[in-house]
A and B are shown apart, each in its own frame.
Chain A
Amino acid sequence: MTTVRLMTERFFLSMFAAIVLVGVFPIAFADVLVPVVPGNQLSVAVQPQVTQDPNTQIYTYSYTISNNPGSLQEMWLFAVELSPVTEVLSSTSPSGWRFGVHEDQPIASWAAVEVGQLPADFIDDGNVVPSPFNLKPGETKSGFSFQTFTAPTDGAFYAQGFKKIPQVSGDVEELTDAGLVEPPLTDDSYSSLTTTPNLLPYGGGRRPAVDGFLVFLNVQKDGNVFSAPATIIVKFSAAGESVDRSTFRATLNQRDVTSLFVPDTTFGGDLVAQFDFQNSSLAHGRNVLLTSVDGTVPDTIRSATDVDRVSFDVQN
């Protein structure tokens, strides 16, 4: 008698709990076919290589990646951190991989996307098909590279293991309630540091409030070495500041070279100047470029002038 009553109570308690759960988590209508799986069940080693072309000042970043033999997942995606203003000029990818720059955050990534010929008995479940080009545990792959003007420094990389996309049999009521939302890539990957174009552009460094009015994309504070012609790329409003571009002025070795800066967004900047010995005051050896532009100090209505001074050597 006691046992029967206990079972009856348990039944009703279970029913009550089920009713409560259905009320709180209105998933319904769908069975979970593929749950959310962590994408960090792997570890990788990254060997970076960075070179700079002294003629163009363009850096080439190359990565060789090894998936640890002990990894539980194949690597399908590899990403590196960029600076917010990094412009990728070109890229290469290993066979079967594709490169892209993310729109919502300063990240560039490669992914194994080619799946080859699907077998004749392939049954389409609506999900992704693993690529045979995934980097399997124990494998090493190179050929991941891109070019940019942004100088190197330490930056994060993210390696994500291959996994199916979460899948349900039909429409779900609410993804979050159903626990079907994958974490962001940067939280759902194996991550460590490598060398990336993550260095913020040089803005003068003297007045932080106005330094972002104008920044140099391919010139750092020190150690700039060019071959003639010397190309200088500037960008306005690096942090979204309000800048009056009509006030831009530039002198090279105390000669006005403002007119040599022409609009050009090819390299991610706003103006590009190409100095040679004929068209400007470019000199062998040390050169001094002075720029100025007016803008509004962020969070104020005050106008201010960002004056930047950079020096570079011309060696030919």
Chain B
Amino acid sequence: MNFATFPLTAILVLATTGNISAADFNFDTTPSGFYSALTVTDGTETLMVTPESGGFVVVQNSGVPLLGSMSVIGSLVNPLQQDRFDSLRFTFSIPVKSITFAFGDAGGDDDSNVVIQAFDSNNVLLGTLSTDYPANFNSGKTLSGIFATGAKHFTLRSGTLATFNPNSIFWEVSSYTTSLLKIEVVPANGAVESSSTITSFEPNKRITLVARVFDENGQLVPNVNVRLEATAVPGSGGHDHHDASRPNGSLGGSSGTLNVVTGNTGTTGFVFDFTAPEISGEHKIAPTCTDRTCTQEGPDTVGIRVSGLQELGPGTDYDLIGQTTSHPQNHYGTASLIASLRSLAQAYAGAFPGQRLAYNDISLQFGGLFDVGKDKVSGALIPWRTPHRSHRLGTDVDLRLVPASHRQALRHLIKQSGISTILVEGDHWHLRQ
């Protein structure tokens, strides 16, 4: 046995990492016969065996104890004839990081060497494994290799690289570990927003995303079954209350109401829609591969927000009121409204020294539905529902009543401040810019 390319220390790693599937591609359950190509599935991994010169892949008992009941051999003709054997190609659907081949011949011919070459997804040679195989040796041997970047296919031949020996060698895979696959979700149009956020958009809007699977070389892995699940992040969007009824984003088509969607990546990726609920916040997109193992990579968050909202921080001429444990930050508005509210309070204090305005709800940090409704009997918050439908875009604010004698002046100051609409709503004024 010759580990010419791969040192022994690397081989030792094989036993402790990856998803070892011992003897799954040993063909012991494969029906004997002649195949133009042979495809064998082992869980999430698929192995395709093809003859290198257009002959056959033959499944039969080799008589070699190490190879068990069945293994494969390449043949140029049907039935088998001496000196008419062929090389084979083993191609894996998921690149393998390590592999051990078992091979052998029951003896009696002039077997010499065996050579196995490993290639990556771009058909770049990763390494060569070789060993001798004496003419009367009949126990079978193994060759192992580790390919950190993942080997996509192997050529297995008898003889040397320079000279093909058309004698019989039976092959099988004793064990292997697959390359780690990565799944990412990106906007169908445009780049991801940041290292943590896929993209951000407004409540009730829809965006198209695509899930793609890559191997460790960054090569797109086609035809992977994937599952996507969207889940609202507790506490996000200014809602410091959370329960299972918080609406998640809807995945799927226009009629999608579920937060889970499944599909196949095909050749370019699995395209799906994310429809935002009316509640702002962050939603985690959890992508998984359902027919193999993959890990999520890249940003995993979709932000639902009304863009450009700013916080009306504390001021010398006004008070901020209306904060609750459910919505502790209730004073986010458009830049224009925030500026107007500051100048309005300043003007009011100028007109009535010592008097301060009190601003109640504007919008939550990311805007969107501001669920302040309460049960009329218990007084408990009714989450994730209207009213406060107007307090979504950062353009509306509730203002505590000022003394009646000041209201006409305040009305004039409001008009000067660039706030166009006043509505008396019960015990407060509702302003909209």
Contacts and interface: CB of A to CB of B under 8 A. Distances in A.
Interface of A: 26, 28-30, 33-34, 76-77, 98, 100-105, 109, 111-116, 118, 122, 124-131, 165-175, 180-182, 184-185
Interface of B is mostly: mixed
B416 A101 contact: yes
Contacts of A185: 415
Contact of B401 (A98, A126, A175): A126
Contact of B387 (A33, A167, A171): A171
A171 B388 contact: yes
Contacts of A180: 423
Interface in B392-433: 396, 401, 404-405, 407-409, 411-413, 415-418, 420-430, 432
Q: Is the interface of A mostly helix, strand, loop or mixed?
A: loop
Given A102-B418, A109-B416, A30 B408 contact: no
Nearest to A130: B408
Contact of B424 (A28, A126, A130, A173): A126
Contact of A174 (B390, B405, B421, B428): B390
Looking at A109, A128, A170, which has the most chain B CB atoms within 10 Å of its CB?
A128
A26 B340 contact: no
Contact of B404 (A26, A113, A129): A129
Contacts of B148: none
Instruction: Point out which of B409, B417, B418, B429 has the most chain A C-beta atoms below 10 A from its C-beta.
Output: B409
Contacts of A170: 425-426
Given A103-B340, A181-B432, A118 B404 contact: yes
A90 to B, nearest CB: 16
A14 to B, nearest CB: 25
Contacts of B412: 77, 98, 100, 109, 111, 113
A103 B343 contact: yes
Interface residues of B, number: 35
19 contacts: A26-B386, A26-B389, A29-B387, A34-B424, A100-B412, A103-B417, A103-B418, A109-B412, A113-B412, A114-B408, A126-B424, A126-B426, A126-B428, A165-B422, A166-B423, A168-B425, A173-B389, A181-B420, A181-B432
Contacts of A114: 408-409
Nearest to A180: B423
Contact of B421 (A100, A103, A175): A175
Contacts of B428: 126
B192 interface: no
A116 B432 CA distance: 28
Nearest to B412: A111
B258 interface: no
Nearest to B388: A171
Contacts of B388: 171
Contacts of B420: 181-182, 184
B233 interface: no
A298 B404 CA distance: 49
Given A102-B416, A175-B432, A131 B408 contact: yes
Given A28-B387, A181-B421, 4 more contacts: A113-B412, A126-B424, A127-B424, A175-B396
